[in-house]
């Protein structure tokens, strides 16, 4: 009688919404179909047409945590999320492929009419509200601009409108949200896209199962 535990299927962590949607074609390129829509089914564990691959649905900012601790073998997360995660967990994740999905940019935005260049020139401390404190701190430090960072978890656009901050650092894609709130982007920090991340132990112990997926994602994302 074998005492070996049954092998767990490869587990891939994704967030619902844009990352899930944009990952479906990449999975299809690897020959994997997903029957369930997490928005409708509310299921957090989703089977695929490959019996050795299942998906788990987590918050975008939790994807690196699931993968780093090995609860998921691989996952997909935005560079914005990965930068913040790496600040407290340096080097914990293998990031082999830029999938070029969920593209946007990280930018500084202010209220329309706020003279950002003058504020920077005067050297007064700028109050900046953001979810991305690590990326923001590095950006302003490199420019030599003194900032007080105010950590928020969402709806950054509101902060300059109610006097919480002079500026925000947020991801922008169409710019519609900024425009709707009378804000303007005044500085681009970096382009953002989503990366495949892999658990470092799984990379060694489950290499044979992972490699075909990595190869398919690599060629589908070029």
Identify the DSSP state of 48: B
Letters for 3-42 (x = contact with ligand PRT by CB under 6 A, - = none) are: ------------x-xxx-----------------------
The residue length of the chain stands at 222
By C-alpha distance, which of 19, 16, 90, 10 is closest to 50?
Answer: 10
CB of 178 to ligand PRT, least distance (A): 6
For 9, the 3-state DSSP assignment is coil
CB of 41 to ligand PRT, least distance (A): 17
CB of 205 to ligand PRT, least distance (A): 28
Letters for 65-104 (x = contact with ligand PRT by CB under 6 A, - = none) are: -------------x-xx--------------------x-x
Selected from 46, 170, 196, 217, the binder of ligand PRT by CB under 6 A is 170
Token pair in block for residue 69: 């601790």
Chain position carrying tokens 């109050």? 127
> Is the Cβ of residue 21 or residue 218 nearer to ligand PRT in the bound state?
21
> Is the Cβ of residue 80 or residue 166 nearer to ligand PRT in the bound state?
80
> Is the Cβ of residue 49 or residue 112 nearer to ligand PRT in the bound state?
112
CB of 172 to ligand PRT, least distance (A): 4
Give the neighbor-by-neighbor strand order of the sheet with 10-14.
45-47, 53-57, 10-14, 74-78, 183-199, 93-111, 167-172, 126-130, 147-151
**Which residues are CB-neighbours of 20 under 8 A, at least 6 positions away?**
14, 38, 57
Query: What are phi and psi for residue 68, nearest 5 degrees?
Result: -60, -40
CB of 33 to ligand PRT, least distance (A): 22
- Asked if 173 is part of the footprint of ligand PRT (rule: CB under 6 A), the reply reads yes
């Amino acid at each position: 009688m074998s005492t070996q535990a049954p092998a767990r299927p490869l587990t891939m962590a994704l967030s619902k919404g844009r990352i899930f949607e944009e990952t479906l074609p990449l999975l299809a390129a690897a020959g994997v179909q997903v029957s369930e829509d997490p928005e409708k089914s509310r299921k957090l564990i989703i089977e695929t047409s490959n019996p050795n691959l299942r998906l788990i649905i987590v918050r975008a900012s939790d994807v690196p945590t699931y993968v780093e601790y090995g609860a998921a073998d691989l996952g997909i997360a935005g560079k914005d999320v990965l930068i913040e995660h790496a600040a407290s967990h340096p080097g914990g994740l293998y990031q082999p492929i830029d999938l070029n999905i969920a593209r946007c940019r990280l930018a500084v935005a202010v209220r329309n009419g706020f003279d950002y260049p003058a504020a920077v020139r005067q050297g007064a401390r700028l109050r900046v509200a953001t979810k991305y404190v690590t990326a923001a701190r590095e950006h302003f430090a490199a420019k030599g601009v003194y900032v007080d960072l105010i950590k928020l978890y969402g709806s950054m656009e509101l902060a300059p409108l109610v006097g919480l901050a002079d500026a925000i650092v947020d991801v922008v894609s169409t710019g519609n949200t900024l425009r709707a709130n009378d804000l303007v982007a005044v500085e681009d920090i970096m382009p953002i896209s989503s990366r495949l991340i892999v658990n470092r132990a799984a990379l060694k112990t489950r290499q044979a199962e992972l490699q075909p997926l990595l190869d398919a994602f690599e060629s589908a994302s070029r």
